[in-house]
Chain A
């Protein structure tokens, strides 16, 4: 994983969602964050945790027409969204 923000986000998710046996460095940036193919094994209940963690850490609200379904598709999408909102 090359991008610092993506790595930071992987660590944040592992921490907030109490993910075990997953190293942040090993998570592919394009892998889905939520659903059966998620390397974090997160489901829709965890999505709330991720959304709130992102808001508290980066001051960026995921909501309205830009939905969590869209933004939480991968670490790459989430990082791009945060960078865009903070620009």
Chain B
């Protein structure tokens, strides 16, 4: 059985899955729009939580957040399920597919054989849509691939029940009911307000603009504290989280700039066009940081001087982001 599901390739898995599911259910939208309504943009640096032995550094909200917030703000009814038994998880998945539901799933990348070996690392927050089953293979719309892919039942079971941080526990989600009407301007405003709040007013110093400043302070101390090898590994991890993992570059700031452009039209608010351009400029600043960091990792830049400069670039990002989100909040409040 195969659902006639329009597959589109996107930069990031969860916003791509959400956009593809919404399009299938009759709400045409871009990845950027879903990312913005779902308030996907974030910054968090949590040195005491380790992912692959590296401090948690993230430029987006946690797995599942974009789908949950975007659908809630658009008034869409969804269903989510987790399982303790792989057999029960598979049975429910097959039942949903047989009843014509494309099903979103959280998986561990390492166990997905259609990923090239170089990209198969231990990350359990990868999202995809299961759109059918033929013999012993599931048909999958994975938004980071150009075309739909296939995955054996055994491999998908391993990916859905991968162990470790962010273990998916067989998590699936799907759309149960679309509303008759959407309050798109309301959803866009709510998404923007949410991002402004988490970036400016999170009480813990690990998140938002304060989190960027914390990373700047800690990173400047890495060469003396961690030694050369660990310093390079830590820095490489920060760049990868920023420029890879489907961020669209600049730690999702370019995707968010595209969202603000769409928001300007939806809300008939030209100020948002100017702020979109500021957001792109911030993405470029993050990229300057990544460029210098990659040169340090490659041994093409002097370590101590570079770390002072890297910390300074991060502080500059924090200053610009603080300005952007204050202006953004003001622009949609008036």
Q: What is A's interface to B at a CB cutoff of 8 Å?
A: 18, 35-36, 44-49, 51-52, 55, 61-70
Contacts of A63 in B (CB 8 A): 248-250, 254-255, 283
Report yes or no: B297 in contact with A67, Cβ–Cβ below 8 A.
Answer: no
Contacts of A62 in B (CB 8 A): 249
Q: Mark B290-334, 1 if CB is under 8 A from A, else 0.
A: 110011011010000000000000000000000000000000000
How many Å from the CB of B262 to the closest CB on chain A? Answer: 11
Q: Which residue of B is nearest A18, CB measured?
A: B300
Q: Which residue of B is nearest A67, CB measured?
A: B11
Report yes or no: B287 in contact with A48, Cβ–Cβ below 8 A.
Answer: yes
Asked whether any CB of chain A lies closer than 8 Å to the CB of B258, the reply is: yes
**Separation of A34 and B116 alpha carbons in the complex (Å):** 12
Asked whether any CB of chain A lies closer than 8 Å to the CB of B246, the reply is: yes
Known: A36-B118, A49-B291, A52-B291. A65 touches B249 (CB 8 A): no
Contacts of A35 in B (CB 8 A): 116, 118
Selected interface stretch from B42-50, B52-60, B205-213, B237-245: B237-245
Q: Mark B230-268, 1 if CB is under 8 A from A, else 0.
A: 000000100110011010111000110110000000000
**Separation of A46 and B31 alpha carbons in the complex (Å):** 26
Known: A61-B254, A64-B258, A68-B243. A45 touches B294 (CB 8 A): yes
Q: Which residue of A is nearest B31, CB measured?
A: A65
Contacts of B138 in A (CB 8 A): none
How many Å from the CB of B145 to the closest CB on chain A? Answer: 10
Report yes or no: A65 in contact with B30, Cβ–Cβ below 8 A.
Answer: yes
**Separation of A62 and B248 alpha carbons in the complex (Å):** 8
Question: Which of A46, A51, A64, A67 meets B287, CB within 8 Å?
Answer: A51
Known: A44-B244, A45-B294, A49-B291. A64 touches B239 (CB 8 A): no
Known: A63-B248, A67-B11. A48 touches B294 (CB 8 A): yes
**Separation of A35 and B32 alpha carbons in the complex (Å):** 27
How many Å from the CB of A5 to the closest CB on chain B? Answer: 22
How many Å from the CB of A42 to the closest CB on chain B? Answer: 11
**Separation of A51 and B250 alpha carbons in the complex (Å):** 11
How many Å from the CB of A56 to the closest CB on chain B? Answer: 10
Closest 4 pairs between A and B when the two form their complex, measured CB to CB: A63-B254, A63-B249, A64-B254, A45-B294
Asked whether any CB of chain A lies closer than 8 Å to the CB of B23, the reply is: no
Question: Which of B116, B255, B297 meets A64, CB within 8 Å?
Answer: B255
Contacts of B32 in A (CB 8 A): 64-65
**Separation of A18 and B294 alpha carbons in the complex (Å):** 13
Report yes or no: A45 in contact with B298, Cβ–Cβ below 8 A.
Answer: yes
Contacts of B284 in A (CB 8 A): 55, 61
Asked whether any CB of chain A lies closer than 8 Å to the CB of B5, the reply is: no
Contacts of B280 in A (CB 8 A): 61
Asked whether any CB of chain A lies closer than 8 Å to the CB of B10, the reply is: yes
Contacts of A70 in B (CB 8 A): 9
Asked whether any CB of chain A lies closer than 8 Å to the CB of B144, the reply is: yes
Report yes or no: B254 in contact with A48, Cβ–Cβ below 8 A.
Answer: no
5 A-B pairs whose Cβ atoms sit less than 8 Å apart in the complex: A48-B291, A52-B287, A63-B250, A64-B258, A65-B31
Q: Which residue of B is nearest A62, CB measured?
A: B249
